[in-house]
Copies of this chain bind each other. A is one copy, B any other.
Amino acid sequence: MDIVIMAMIASLIALAVAVFLVVQVLKEMPGTTTMQEIAASIQQGAMAYLNRQFKTIAVFAIVIFFILGMFLPKGEFHNSYLIAIGFLVGAVFSALAGYIGMGMSVRANVRTANAAKKSLKDALNIAFKGGAVTGLCVVALALLGVSGFYYLFTRVWNIPIDMAPSLLIGFAFGASLISLFARVGGGIFTKAADVGADLVGKIEKGIPEDDPRNPAVIADNVGDNVGDCAGMGADLFETYAVTLIAAMILAASTLVTQTGAKSIEYPIMLGAIAAIASIIGIFFVRLGKNENIMGAMYKGMMMTGLISAVGFYFATKYILNDMSIYYATLVGLGVTLFINIITEYYTAKEYRPVQKIAEASKTGAGTNIITGLAVGLQSTFMPVVLIVIAIGLAYYFGSTSTLQSGIYGIAIAAVAMLSTTGIVIATDSYGPITDNAGGIAEMAGLPESVRKNTDALDAVGNTTKAVTKGYAIGSAALAALVLFQAYGEELMKNTVGKSFEFSIDNHMVLIGLFLGGMLPFLFSSFCMEAVGKAAHKVVEEVRRQFKEIPGIMEGKNKPQYDTCVDIVTKAALKEMIFPGAIAVIAPIFVGFVLGPEALGGLLAGVIISGLLSAIQMCNGGGAWDNAKKYIEDGNFGGKGGDAHKAAVVGDTVGDPYKDTAGPALNALIKVINTIALIIAPIIAGTSLLS
């Protein structure tokens, strides 16, 4: 049977399972009227934000659609418009996955809260199924998009197989653009609401987290969904699609004479297998008798990994008949495993790094911050070593295979790593559902026992969120490497008699490296400032409400939740434009003005400094967060003590680090690489300065 059709069927199966899970979750009871009211507020806020976010992006998207259609080389198959259409579909599919996932998330939250009245097991069941809907939709739509377009190109329109993958880049770019804005906008939204709610609520008024008297409480809960569910979903949708496409482009330009379509379609097959493996893995997530929630998650992930490994074996044997390439897929699966372990070590309460920060809090906020920064910086070591080993091994397996392509080995490792995206997002999207469930339980005044159950679920959610960030960054780095290679190939293809050397001792490459290295610094500084500005607006609004609406503190009058949601929405959308624009304009400027060599340097610079900064920020932020929680568990004076106050400062600093700037860097890295790939044919021959 045709591999590409198999992949499309696998996508449709994943979508069907997602629908099945939606039905299962929706038939659960949504609880009391109060609970439903609160949930409805969160729903409205989240959907309102998403609608406006996509409306804003749509303006960009339409402009870009016409630019792509008009200015890209036309080619014999109307390439430019195929790419432009792919771009639109990529954007729409990514947005669709976001809509479905968020829609589920803001309905699963209240049902999880209600089930938590009954048992931990029931609550976990609903929350995880809710998360799995996002996971499956992301993978299914991404795989369907790639395989569907490829099918159309090659089977229906008879475009030669060595040309078809390049045309898929439009789809990748559409996904990139959504991911960039969803990450930046979502990241600003979630942290501005969080920090704003805390600054007045916790610090000025002394009311607890998720207290219904806080006017920003709904905005805060909306933010969890917008950032962790929609943002991460769009991020991994893009990484998944882009990696697949880059691997196919690479195969198309270097291996097609040796292998025909096989090496191009093999990555699609890996995606199809892992999609099915993810579905099976999802049904393995069940609470055992020991009530170990994280254990239940790991069961599902390990199962997915094992089934994938077995499936990859047969697929490799059947398609390429080369075990060296199979080992490259194992390298990819191995990176997923180890990056999880490393991230957990740096961000979980049980280990030395977090405890070190907690201990440093004894001598005040200053030492807490210094230690947290040091932990974040240090946490780059092991992931980099892991990635370097993975590159080395994958290259080795690729070059000792019959294909004799080290780079293809790296590309396949990246595809294999990303193939498990479905289950990874499921565990990640579970996070905001349980977070919300806790919030709803608190706001609706449910008994302590319910809150205890949701807290237990939420604690694991924090870990899975941190771990997913590590996964997203690691995979983004590998994906970017493949994109970089593809960029080089595209340049070669489009010039006659000119060869491109990205040698570091070429001064244009060096200039690109410096500029590229700097971009993540500049970009993340704007993201962090944006959170500050937006949070400031929330603070002012919350203060205004406390002053102007009498009786909020006594619970006699309800605060106006919607104005806060509205303010954060507007602020986030406004603030996302500038960093977003930097990401889009930088590669175009460098490519056209400084030339293809400088753009190559820029890509490498962005990958390296972006990867390091993202790891530092995500791990540092996660460690700060859990250092605070470690103290709240009763260590170093417990909640309310001096160490706790210092740790709260660290947590505040960590918030925009780990939930805004850090994750947005993934999107930055890839959007720049994707744009480079798109403009490669145009700049291949020419530039203003070189």
Give A residues with C-beta under 8 Å from B: 195, 199, 203, 360, 363-367, 369-371, 373-378, 380-381, 384-385, 387-388, 391-392, 395, 406-407, 410, 481, 484-485, 488, 501-505, 507, 509-511, 513-515, 517-518, 521-522, 524-526, 528-529, 531-532, 535-536, 539, 600-601, 604-605, 608-609, 611-612, 616, 648-649, 652-653, 656-657, 689
Contacts and interface: CB of A to CB of B under 8 A. Distances in A.
Contact of A608 (B608, B652, B656): B608
Greatest chain B CB density within 10 A among A363, A507, A600 is at A507
A510 B391 contact: yes
Contacts of A363: 199, 536, 539
Contacts of A616: 521
A485 to B, nearest CB: 6
Nearest to A604: B504
> What is the total number of copies of this protein in its complex?
2
Nearest to A651: B366
Contacts of A653: 366, 369-370, 373
Contacts of A369: 369, 649, 652-653
Given A364-B649, A609-B609, A514 B410 contact: no
Contacts of A366: 195, 648-649, 652-653
Nearest to A645: B365
A376 B501 CA distance: 34
25 contacts: A363-B539, A364-B649, A366-B648, A369-B369, A370-B531, A370-B532, A371-B532, A373-B525, A377-B525, A378-B521, A384-B514, A388-B514, A391-B507, A407-B507, A484-B504, A488-B505, A501-B501, A502-B503, A504-B504, A513-B604, A517-B611, A521-B616, A608-B609, A609-B612, A649-B649
Contacts of A532: 360, 367, 370-371, 374
Contacts of A392: 507, 511, 689
B608 A528 contact: no
A586 to B, nearest CB: 11
A664 to B, nearest CB: 13
Contacts of A600: 504
A515 B378 contact: no
A437 to B, nearest CB: 27
Nearest to A485: B505
Greatest chain B CB density within 10 A among A503, A531, A539, A609 is at A503
B513 A203 contact: no
Contacts of A406: 507
Given A384-B517, A387-B514, 19 more contacts: A365-B649, A367-B652, A370-B528, A373-B653, A377-B525, A378-B521, A378-B529, A380-B518, A388-B515, A391-B514, A481-B510, A501-B501, A502-B505, A504-B509, A510-B604, A513-B604, A517-B611, A521-B612, A608-B608
Contacts of A689: 392
A246 to B, nearest CB: 13
Nearest to A617: B373
Contacts of A649: 364-366, 369, 649
Query: DSSP majority for the A interface?
Result: helix
Contacts of A502: 503-505
A386 to B, nearest CB: 10
A38 to B, nearest CB: 28
A365 B371 CA distance: 15
A84 to B, nearest CB: 29
Nearest to A652: B366
Contact of A381 (B199, B504, B522): B522
Given A521-B612, A653-B373, A507 B395 contact: yes
A609 B513 CA distance: 10
A379 B47 CA distance: 37
Nearest to A371: B532
A515 B384 contact: yes
Q: Which 4 A-B pairs have the closest CB atoms?
A: A366-B652, A377-B525, A378-B525, A517-B608
A364 B517 contact: no
A504 B491 CA distance: 15
Nearest to A488: B505
Contacts of A367: 532, 535, 652
Contacts of A485: 505
Greatest chain B CB density within 10 A among A365, A366, A392, A657 is at A366
Contact of A373 (B511, B528, B605): B528
Contacts of A608: 513-514, 517, 605, 608-609
Contacts of A378: 521-522, 525-526, 529
A265 to B, nearest CB: 24
Contacts of A611: 514, 517
Contacts of A203: 364
B381 A517 contact: no
Contact of A377 (B509, B513, B521, B531): B521
A525 to B, nearest CB: 4
Contacts of A505: 407, 484-485, 488, 502
Contacts of A407: 505, 507
Contacts of A385: 515
Nearest to A501: B503
B507 A371 contact: no
A518 B370 contact: no
A363 B542 CA distance: 14
Nearest to A367: B532
A388 B512 CA distance: 8
B381 A518 contact: yes
Contacts of A511: 388, 391-392
Greatest chain B CB density within 10 A among A203, A388, A600 is at A388
A364 B649 CA distance: 8
A503 to B, nearest CB: 5
A521 B613 CA distance: 9
A384 B609 CA distance: 14
Contacts of A510: 391, 481, 604
B199 A364 contact: yes
Nearest to A539: B363
Contacts of A384: 514-515, 517-518
A370 B657 CA distance: 9
A155 B395 CA distance: 51
A613 B292 CA distance: 41
Contacts of A380: 518, 521-522
A526 B375 CA distance: 9
